[in-house]
Structure 1
Amino acid sequence: MFVPMNEAKKYQFKPYEECPCESGQKYKFCCYAKSRNSKVDFRDYSATRITAEGRRLLKDTEFKMCFAFDTSECSKDLIGAHSIQNNGVLDKISVENHVYALSSEIDQNTMYPQLEFTPIGKNQASIFSGFCKKHDEDYFKCIEDKDYEGTLEQNYWFGFRALCFELHRKLRLKKSFANFFKKYPGATRTPSIYTEYYNTKLSIRDSWTEYERFKSAYAKKSFNNLESIVKVVPFTVGFTATTSVGVGMDMEGNLAADIYNYNDKHFIPNLYVSVIPKENMTLIIISRFHEDNCYKNILSQLNGNENDEKLFRYISFCLAEYSENVYFSPAVIDSLSEANKRKIKTAFMGVLSPTPELRLRNLYATTSLNLFDLKL
């Protein structure tokens, strides 16, 4: 599903709302006033400088917290938790303790964003500072220390960890916007930037709603509040992913979650997707909360699907279009032709596409992608 840029709702900061730079002042008397004397032309910046600036802004937002339901029991040791299992999953696809991630850079010729396969140590891949040591061990021991048995509780914890990873990332993204506005107050007047800022705020709000649903299910031990479909694939894929995302269409191209409805009162629930390579097999786990009727067709279609190619393309579409938490085996990626590498990078461009024309081209690559062709 694609909404052209000129049809997406455009937001505008209101004079008396809190300034998005998080100064505590009203917008009219803060970044709006400063923007009158702020004239920064990013066309004068080199691609290397823009890329480095973006990475620095994001790096400066790193923070530690614990997403435990009862933080009064937290240990003092806040750690970098893995959203994807290090031993047994990242191990499976790594080469010399490294995996590939897709990172964004600015092309020097076009000055457009592009994606590149970048090596990252498996101990750093999928890390986020979202739990103390005690709760990371207590919560996830049934998926870290036990073989997967398809229990309701195991599916619950896969979904919850994915949610916390994405929520932590969105909170950092919002903070990076604030830092950006502090440095470049004139950016608050740029429609595409303040639209992305508001969309991030709405997404954070929806994620906290999801968090409360997980918390309620945990308190009641109602792990069956989530419906899951599990598919066992009889080969090992050369990538892994776990994500919590709003999905806009089902396997037949029909509307699922109304992800382009930016009404402040509209709640967009998440679908939880994990692809877990193991020895001679791969697990696919897809979950939703039962009350999320927008995903009912997806779970029904997945349950009744007998066409693996269609299933693989749909999951590949969901990951490429909506997720960033995907890691690849260097052995598999390095064996591909440059054309096939480019197809994957193009498919994952998604909302980074700078023009409607490129967005359509990239969307075509996304719908024709089959990541399950990447076999170990």
Structure 2
Amino acid sequence: MKIGRNDKCWCGSGKKFKRCHYGRENETPVSKGEAIGHSQKNASRKYCYAPADLKHECSQKIINAHTVSKSSSLKEIADESNHVLGLKINFANIARNKGKLIPEKIGINQASTFKGFCSKHDKSLFSCIEDREFIGDDEQCLALMYRSVAKEIYAKEGGLNTSDFAKNSDKGKNILDQMFIQKFAANHETGTKAALTELSELKSQLDNQLLGKSVDSLSHLIIHSTSPMPVAVSSVVSPITDFDGNLIQDLGNLSLVAEHLVFNSFSSDGKGYVVFSWLKTSTKVLSFINSLLALEENKIFSSLIRFFFGLAENTFISPVWWNGLSSEQKDKINSLIMSGVSPFVHNDRNLLVDDGISFSGWKVGSLRRINF
């Protein structure tokens, strides 16, 4: 491959070759310290994701907002030292664990936090789920959904920053490695931008509902139990397959608009809840939910465990529950956590299908369908 010094660089940056990748193989490689510094800076970004119409009310003091309630849910499953088990997803930790994500102790003050709301809006938007018992009314379900979507947008915006950083990580590499890194970063950036566009549209619809500009656009499934839920989670996914292994939607086709499912697992007043939420128009997500509802009731908890750990990262575990698991059960969860981590391994269509490894510790008490 021969490129003139003044030609556009092959990497697609739009810069001239001489100001971009010319001599890149001789540059000093990105250090571990630089990578850790980027990871820490990226995780410290501050922004308030309240609706634009409410921005004039911002207190300007961005706080560590909990995506899973500390006062009820995290305290309910924490050990005597007020710690839960969760994933510490940062470059330093991943490097220390040699690329593996493993459950580790996290204090409940740090678990599930992100700098995504000012103190004013964190209080006004989410006091309905933080300060009173969960009853599953429209206000509480919307608040759960809104906070999860804001956290996911925060994560995706951080992902774009990481793509930019990754493009410079080919310094000191040979030309073939440079091309591989640039292609990987470009593909990651394309996928992240598509997801961010879709999530921003979803948030816009939630903004309208929050401000009273639209009604009856959301559907919810509430699974209730009389005992606390040992696994707390708050996340957003676009399900690819259902609990029978059937294809739901092909996320590899960027011309199609992905449908999103928001889910929260938590405890409130000593009871346990799992809340699924989606746009009423999302028929593919409804198909996914129906595959869950078709399961035998005594298999739902095990199916939820596969779903939580196979598709979500913002997941927190009761140390007592974890310590009571067998080696086989722990190995299963660890393998679920690593599913989808490597971009070079195809998604397992049977990820959510019952493989005979079951889990106990939580029984379904009731199922409540709302607006579907």
Q: What range describes the TM-score normalised by the shorter chain of this pair? A: 0.7 to 0.9
Provide the secondary structure at the position in 2 that maps to 1:150.
coil
Match of 1:243, SS state, is strand
Cα deviations across residues 269-324 of structure 1 (Å, max 9, x unaligned)? 2101111134653211111111112112233444x546124433433333223211
**Identity between Structure 1 and Structure 2 (%):** 21
Instruction: Indicate the structure (1 or 2) with the bigger Cα radius of gyration.
Output: 2
Aligned pair 1:138/2:120, yes or no?
Answer: no
Task: Give me the whole-angstrom Cα distance separating, in 2, the residues matched to 1:371 and 1:272.
Answer: 24
> Which residue is 2:288 aligned to?
298
- The normalised TM-score by structure 2 is 0.80
> What secondary structure, in the 3-state scheme, does the structure 1 residue paired with 2:281 have?
coil
Counterpart CA distance in 1 for 2:15 and 2:343 is 31
SS of aligned partner of 2:331:
helix
Higher share in helix: 1
2:252 matched residue in structure 1: 260
Q: Secondary structure at the match of 2:136?
A: coil
Q: Residues 1-376 of structure 1: matches in 2 within 5 Å?
A: 27-29=13-15, 34-39=20-25, 55-61=36-42, 62-69=44-51, 70-95=54-79, 96-103=81-88, 113-184=99-170, 187=178, 189-190=180-181, 191-220=183-212, 222=214, 224-263=216-255, 266-278=256-268, 281-302=271-292, 304-305=293-294, 307-353=296-342, 355-356=344-345, 368=355, 373-374=360-361
The answer to whether the 8 Å contact 1:93/1:238 transfers is: yes
Q: Is the 8 A contact 2:87 2:314 kept in 1?
A: no
> For residues 66 and 356 of structure 1, do their structure 2 counterparts lie closer, same or farther at Cα, with a shift above 3 Å needed?
closer
One-letter identity of the residue aligned with 1:373 = S
Task: Please name the residue that 2:369 is paired with.
Answer: none
Q: CA deviation at 1:31?
A: 8.3
Q: Say if 2:301 and 2:362, in contact at 8 Å, map to a contact too.
A: no
> How much has 1:183 moved relative to structure 2?
4.6
1: CA distance between counterparts of 2:290 and 2:325?
A: 34
C-alpha contact 2:134 2:268 (8 A) present in aligned 1? no
Aligned letter for 2:322? I
Q: Aligned to 2:142, what secondary structure does the other structure show?
A: helix
Shift of 1:262: 2.4
8 Å CA contact 1:58–1:172 kept in 2: the answer is no
The superposition leaves residues 50-107 of structure 1 with CA deviations (integer Å, 9 ceiling, x where unpaired) of: 6x76544321212111111121111121111100100010001112111111246668
Asked whether the equivalents of residues 160 and 193 of structure 2 are also in contact (C-alpha less than 8 Å), the reply is yes
Match of 1:39, SS state, is: helix
Q: Which amino acid aligns with 2:49?
A: F
Task: Give the secondary structure class of the aligned counterpart of 2:20.
Answer: helix
Letter in 1 for 2:280: H
Of the structure 1 ranges 28-37 and 236-245, higher mean CA displacement relative to structure 2 is found in 28-37
Tell me how many residue pairs correspond in the alignment: 343
SS at structure 2 position matched to 1:149: coil
Letter in 1 for 2:87: L
**Residues 16-45 of structure 1: CA deviation (Å, up to 9, x unaligned):** 89x9xxxxxx7031689533423399xx99
Compared CA separation, residues 177 and 35, structure 1 to 2 (3 A): same
C-alpha distance in structure 2 between counterparts of 1:32 and 1:309, whole Å: 64
Deviations 1:251-275 (A, max 9, x none): 3333323323223xx3212101111
Where structure 2 has 5 or more consecutive residues not aligned to the other structure, the ranges are: 1-6, 364-372
**One-letter code of the match for 1:125?**
A
| Segments ≥4 residues shifted beyond 4 Å | 30-33, 52-55, 104-108, 185-189, 362-367, 369-372
SS of residue matched to 1:229: strand
The verdict on how the C-alpha distance between 1:188 and 1:53 changes in structure 2, with shifts beyond 3 A counting, is: farther
Distance 1:159 1:168 in 2: 14
Structure 1 residues 16, 219: CA separation in 2 closer, same or farther (over 3 Å shift)?
Answer: farther
Give ranges in structure 1 of 5+ residues lacking alignment. 1-14, 20-25
Equivalents in 1 of 2:94, 2:35: separation in Å? 10
| 1:130/1:183 CA distance change after superposition, 3 Å | same
Does the 8 Å CA contact 2:163/2:188 hold for their aligned counterparts? no
- Please name the residue that 2:368 is paired with: none
Query: Distance in 1 between the 2:150 and 2:123 partners?
Result: 15
* SS of corresponding position for 1:352: coil
